[in-house]
Amino acid sequence: MSSTILSQPLQAGDVVRLTKAASPQFGRPLLVRVVAVIAKSSVGGWGYLEGYVLDDRGDATARRRVFVNFAGLKPPATGNRK
């Protein structure tokens, strides 16, 4: 589950920024703390990511499972990782 933008494979606890590069469903970027990476997809490079959406303070606001292009995941902006 590696990405060209992230330097390490995703694992629980990582924080990623989901933008349109990860999926067209993200018109507004979301910051997500990863709970699980589920790589079951017939579409290469795509899969499900489960995690908590974080607010501006880094607090979890909702748990979501989203279908993403792993190559489109972005690292959090500086200062957004707890």
| Count of residues in the chain | 82
DSSP assignment letter at 56: T
Q: What's the CA gap between 61 and 44, in Å, rounded?
A: 30
* List of E strands, 1-82: 15-18, 30-38, 46-54, 60-69
Please give the model's pTM, rounded to 2 decimal places: 0.80
Question: For 24-63, what is each residue's pLDDT tens digit?
Answer: 988 899 999 999 998 777 788 899 999 999 999 999 999 9
Amino acid letter at 29?
P
Q: What's the CA gap between 80 and 58, in Å, rounded?
A: 7
